[in-house]
Amino acid sequence: MRKLGLAAAALGWTLACSSSPDVACTAGADCASGICRSDGTCAPVTSSDAAANDVSTQPDASSSADASGDAAQVGCVPNHDGTITADEAPLQPGLHAKFRWASNVTFSTAGETQTDGSRIWDFTGALKGDADVTVDTTSLANAWYASSFATASYATPLSPSSSLLGVFRFGGGELALDGVVSPSQQGAYTNVSYSPEAIAIQFPLTMNATWSSTSTITGTASGVPVVYYESYQSKVDAYGVAKTPYGDFDVLRIATVLTKTVGALVTITRTYGFFAECATQVATIVSQTDEASAEFSNASLVERLAP
C-alpha cells in the first residue's frame, strides 16, 4: 500500500482574500475565512478582522508572543510570527484545493539559503509529467467505513496517484491518522486501523519542534489481512518562503522520516511538508524509498498548490 508521509497527507486550504460567502473559489486563499467549501463557494467569516501584523518571518521560539497575536484573530489571518497554532490550521470536512504534482522528478529539497538563515524553495517551474488534481476533505457521515473510526474528523486522499483515503482526527492540538481505507467496500477493499494513532502534526509548529509516534496497523489491505508497523519521526527543521504556482507563502518546513516494517522488510521514506499560517500544507516533497541523505534531489513526488 503506497502512501505519502503524514505531513503530505495533511493538505492545505490557503490564505484569506475575498469577503463574501457566495464568492466562487478553488482554494481557501480565495476566501476571507480561509475556507473554500467543496461546492466551490467561500465559507463566511464569523466577524471582521484587522489586517495581519507585518512582522518578520524569523521564527520565534517563545510561545508568549504567539499566544497574544493568534488569540486575537477571529477567522484566520496570518500574523507571520513564525508559529502555527491549531487555530491557524483550517482542517475540517467539506474543503477542497487544487495541487499540481509530478512523480519521479529532480527537485532539490535544500532550496536557496538566505543571509538571515531562511530559505527560498521555488516550486513554480514546470516538472516532467505535471498534472493537476483537486483534493477534497470529506465527512465520514454515511461512509461505509465510518463505524471503524468513531472519533475521526474527515477523510482525504493520501496520494494523487492512488484512490486510498487517509482517515484523520483533528483536535487536542494535533492532527492524527486513524486509518487508511478504500472509497468503497467493493472487491479487494482496504480498511486498516492505526493503534495508537500516527501523529501527523503536533501544534504549535515552531522552529525545532519535534514529535514522534509508532503504530501497529491491522485490518484488510487490498482484500488481504495484514499486520505491520510504522514509526514517524518529525521535526520543524527550516523556515522561509515557498513559491508555488498559486503564490508565495511564509512557511515552516516539517521533515518526517517514516520507517515501515512488514515482516522482515524495513523501508524508510523521507517527506518534507511546507506549512503556512491559515494554509497548512502548500507544498510537499517525498523521497524515493530508502533515501540516505536528509536533503535530496531525486524525488518520488513533488506537489504544490496551484490556481
pLDDT digits (tens, 9 = 90+) for 127-138: 999 999 999 999
249 within 8 A of 242, measured Cβ to Cβ: yes
| Neighbouring-strand partners of residue 103 | 301
Cell of 237: 527543521
Q: Does the pLDDT of residue 105 top 90, yes or no? A: yes
Interval 114-124 mean pLDDT: 98
Considering only residues 57 and 27, tell me which one the structure prediction assigns the higher pLDDT: 27
Q: Does the pLDDT of residue 253 top 80, yes or no? A: yes
Q: What is the pLDDT of residue 174?
A: 96
User: pLDDT per residue over 139-174, tens digit each?
Assistant: 999 999 999 999 999 999 998 989 999 999 999 999
Q: Does the pLDDT of residue 57 top 50, yes or no? A: no
Q: What is the pLDDT of residue 24?
A: 72
Q: Does the pLDDT of residue 17 top 70, yes or no? A: no
Across 9-23, 95-109, 163-177, 283-297, least confident range: 9-23
User: pLDDT per residue over 89-104, tens digit each?
Assistant: 988 998 889 999 999 9
Measured in residues, the chain has a length of 307
Interval 3-19 mean pLDDT: 41
Phi and psi (nearest 5°) for 148? -80, -15
Residue extents of the structural domains in the chain: 6-12+91-143+229-305
Q: Does the pLDDT of residue 8 top 70, yes or no? A: no
Q: What is the pLDDT of residue 26?
A: 67
Q: Please, what sign has the CA dihedral across residues 235, 237, 238, 242?
A: negative
201 within 8 A of 175, measured Cβ to Cβ: yes
Residue 41 pLDDT grade (very low, low, confident, very high; cuts 50, 70, 90): confident
Q: Does the pLDDT of residue 14 top 60, yes or no? A: no
**DSSP structure string for 192-247:** EEEEEEEEEEESSB-TT-EEEEEEEEEEEETTEEEEEEEEEEEEEEEEEEEE-SS-
In this prediction the pTM is 0.81
